[in-house]
Amino acid sequence: MKKPSEMPGTTIIGTGSCLPSRVVLNKEIATRLGLEEVYIYRVSGIRARHWASEADECSVLGEQAARQALEQAGLHAGEIDTILCSTTSPEMGAFPSTASLLQRRLGVRGASAFDFSASCSGFLYGLSMADSLIRSGQSERCLVVAAEIKSRYLDSSDRATSMLFGDGAGAAVLSKSQDSHIGILRIRVFADGRHAHLVRIPAGGSREPMSADTIKEKRHTLRLEGASLFRVAIKQLAPALQELLAMNHLTIDDVDHVMFHQANSRILAKLASRLNIPTHCLFSVIEQTGNTSSASLPITLDVANRQGRLKPGQLILLGTIGGGLTWGGALIRWSG
């Protein structure tokens, strides 16, 4: 029988990210909404966000992030067995999947490719699926991409959403590891459909197909009940992360880096306070990227990685919450 240290595991061997070239500062948003720039920053922690141009596509952003991750991993795209794509802004509606379009751009043939939707928790759900595929022996190497163009689903006059969301993509390459003590230690993901109304796009699906009336009423744009979502986010995510640490016989003092979904600065601050996270452990990019939905966690991870903040053997805690309602956490022992 293999010893625990000899059991196969899953490790992240490359990360990448991509932000559209257009930078939208608070001044532009404030002018449109009749607000002060300082107010937007005070309530959101955001100074700028990136919005896609008309020529940008989800698979284009995803490809750039994926190629960065592959280059860092020292692999070419053909060595990937599975492509998993998290998106709530799919490139072509129901089908074909954005993952298939991304696969074509990467020049990969034969590898399985599929989309999934878990809103802002999508990247963590993708890591969980990829980890399971690798540990079960169904895949050797997986590419997990989260690509979002949320700006096309915003009502420009809605204060609750138009100041928060940005576009972008993040990616990670996962590979089989011979040491289960390195890489992904544990991932837990959850959902509760009772809170589905808190973040939603009412029209455009089979329940309420797109029509002249839904366009006129802006029912194809993002709706957010911010105050209620804030309360539920703290209530669900904080204890889930505490339980995740306890399951691994760890405390927050054992963690080197904490990265949350970049929703807004108030949620980040409240979670940090509730979990007693030291300031130097909490890493955030929300000030310059805004809320990029499922892409925010891999973008944050990649920025920290490329800035040289992540050292081999360090413990990383990831946490996220999103529409559905979905949430979850992950513990990763960085392999470098």
Write the DSSP string, 90-156.
Answer: -TTTTSS-HHHHHHHHHT--SSEEEEE--GGGHHHHHHHHHHHHHHTTS-SEEEEEEEE-GGGG--T
Q: How many CB atoms neighbour CB 247 within 10 A?
A: 12
Q: How far apart are CA 277 and CA 219, in angstroms?
A: 39
Task: Specify which residues 113 forms β-bridges with.
Answer: 83
Write the DSSP string, 6-68.
Answer: GS-EEEEEEEEEE--SEEEEHHHHHHHHT--HHHHHHHH--SEEEE--TT--HHHHHHHHHHH
What is the set of active-site residues? 120, 261, 291
Amino acid at 213: D
Q: How far apart are CA 84 and CA 324, in angstroms?
A: 19
Q: How many CB atoms neighbour CB 89 within 10 A?
A: 21
Contacts (Cβ under 8 Å, ≥6 apart) of 227: none
Contacts (Cβ under 8 Å, ≥6 apart) of 93: none
